[in-house]
Amino acid sequence: MLEFKFIETSKGKIHAVVGGEGNALILVHGFGDSNSWQTWVKNVDALSMIARVYAVELLGYGQSDKLEEALDAEEHAKVVVELMDVEKIQRASFIGLSWGGQVVQHIAESFPERVEKIVLADSLFDSSEEGLAHLAKIQAPTLIVWDEDDQLIPAQWAHILAMAIRDSHLVIFTREQRDPEMVSHNGHWAQMTHSLWFNKTVTGFLTGD
């Protein structure tokens, strides 16, 4: 059973869809108007079988409060950690999609004591020398998943990200692994286009199976 709730932070109310029991798992969507908790509509049920899932809508998205000025990834990371404080979550695992992956990277680097594991899906990252140095500071076990047909961030970038984060494992989903109804869709949403393999791979990583 999923619960729809609003969580108050100092920057505004965050809308989240919450379900399941166990250790907290926070899902962070990407950038752009099409992103909301429904970014994870094909994943929430499966993931809530193994964790207490929070599919959050970042400030400025979905039903969360709108802001006069948009926050950057680092500021969103701080708000997500504040949400954890409000919900009395000491540690959580995180899944970040695209730009949301950069939010998760900031959390993992700046608040390592709050992080169990992270999953980065088709993730944006700073490939400059300074950016790669920051990624090298991430201590959390990391799973990187990618669609081989990603048209926005080509799959070769996944290998650079995997080399930058020391304790990481890379899985690139193939065309043959796509959900049948997703054959012609954009390759940048692996959690949607490859939901069966995504759910299986991520669940195994989070549970240690």
CATH of the domain at 10: 3.40.50.1820
Mean pLDDT of 147-151: 93
* pTM of the entire predicted model: 0.96
User: Quick one: which of 112, 171, 114, 180 has its CA closest to 144?
Assistant: 171
Q: How would residue 184 be classed by pLDDT, with cut points 50, 70 and 90?
A: low
Query: What rounded mean pLDDT belongs to the chain?
Result: 95
pLDDT exceeds 70 at position 185: no
Query: Domain of 58?
Result: 3-207
Mean pLDDT of 55-73: 94
pLDDT exceeds 80 at position 186: no
Q: CB under 8 Å to 97, separation ≥6 — which residues?
A: 27, 28, 29, 30, 35, 39, 121, 122, 123, 189, 191
Provide the pairing of β-strand 12-19 with 52-57.
antiparallel
More confident: 167 or 5: 5
User: Looking at residue 181, what is its pLDDT?
Assistant: 86
Residue 69: CB atoms within 10 A of its CB come to 7
Counted domains in the chain: 1
Give the whole-angstrom CA distance, residue 81 versus residue 93: 12
